Amino acid sequence: MTTKPKKTFRAGPCRAAVFVNQRQTPNGPMELPSIAFSCRYRDEATGEWKDSGSMRPNEAARAVLVIQKALEYCWLREDGSRQSDPEE
């Protein structure tokens, strides 16, 4: 079973998806976000969509944008305060 992302950001072929996992801590349950990134392209021979390990400069700019938006989503609350980070 695949877990659906809580939020997805897309710009052209680049996509950053935020997943939220539950973790039990001594202070109770905590939500821990993670970010998955992909840059997709269509294989001309097969017509299938595939992930790419490289990108053009304009795609790199889009990659930075979607990752930044995903990071903002993870770290900022609606009121603008930062969410707690258990790794700090």
Average pLDDT, the chain: 85
Taking CB atoms within 8 Å and a gap of at least 24, the contacts of 67-72 are 67/16, 67/35, 67/37, 69/9, 69/16, 70/7, 70/9, 70/16, 70/17, 70/18, 70/35, 70/37, 71/35
- Residue 78: what pLDDT? 57
Given pLDDT bands bounded at 50, 70 and 90, which one contains residue 66?
Answer: very high
Q: Is the pLDDT of residue 82 over 60?
A: no
pTM of this prediction? Answer: 0.75
